[in-house]
Amino acid sequence: MRLIFTIFFSLFTLFLFSQDVAILKYKGGGDWYSNPTALPNLVKYCNDNIGTNINESIQTVEVGSIDIFQFPLLHMTGHGNVFFSDDDVENLRNYLISGGFLHIDDNYGMEPYITKELKKVFPNSELIEIPKDHKLFSAAFEFQNGLPKIHEHDGKTPQAFGIFHDSRLVLLFTFESDLGDGWEDQEVHNDPEDVREKALKMGANIVKYVFEN
């Protein structure tokens, strides 16, 4: 028991003072590894523009691993199926209610699967649309109209949804925006520079908000 306490205390200490981020690997067959250049580019942008000191060598952690507690911010993306086992659910819930934050960016097609799995994690909570005046949209750069549209897909309005625990935003789900595509290397999607800039600025807002709240 003492050894377990020591391990958790050490991880919690790292968690408190860390500014590192990681990609979340999950089961179910969905492509958790999509947008491989996205998070490294966002991290570099944040280090260059908002004064962060994030490790630019991005790690991948599995949702059921204790390693997630080393990172105050996890990023999750994909197009398809997501599945959380009972152990995954318990681990992720403990991480989020202990001060962690999960950003899920729908890379198109993920929404019906992730919303179902999130009900396992927080069965008594709903994804709530985050209003445009929330400080998430002005943490570093001003987005008066809320979440920016990066890729069209179905042409729907981009929406930012959240789950709150004890009044703290612990999870952000960005839908019909596809921020991650905008963070990728320019030649991947050939997005205009102003579109990529919007995506990176919104990503920087997420990072700054998480590290300061």
pLDDT in tens, 86-121: 999 999 999 999 999 999 999 888 999 999 999 999
Residue pair 183/201 in contact (Cβ under 8 Å)? The answer is: no
The pLDDT > 70 percentage for the chain reads 91
Residue 153 has a pLDDT of 65
The domains found in the chain, sorted by start residue, are 2-212 (3.40.50.12140)
Residue 163: beta bridge partners? 171
pLDDT in tens, 128-151: 999 999 999 999 999 999 999 997
- Tokens 């921020």 sit at which residue? 179
The mean of the pLDDT values for the chain is 90
CA-CA distances (angstroms) from residue 148 to 25, 111, 199?
26, 18, 7
153 against 65, higher pLDDT? 65
Tokens (6 digits) for 111: 């929404």
- In the chain, count H helices and then E strands: 7, 7
Residue pair 206/172 in contact (Cβ under 8 Å)? The answer is: yes
Angle between helices 193-212 and 38-49 (to 10 degrees): 70
Q: Is the pLDDT of residue 9 over 90?
A: no
Taking alpha carbons only, the member of 47, 51, 58, 65 closest to residue 11 is: 65
Task: Strand 128-129: give its sheet, edge to edge.
Answer: 59-62, 21-25, 73-78, 101-106, 168-175, 159-165, 128-129
Angle value at C-alpha 31, between 44 and 208, nearest 5 degrees = 30
Residue 98 has a pLDDT of 92
Residue 202: pLDDT band (50, 70, 90) is very high
pLDDT in tens, 16-59: 556 899 999 999 988 899 889 999 999 999 999 999 999 999 99
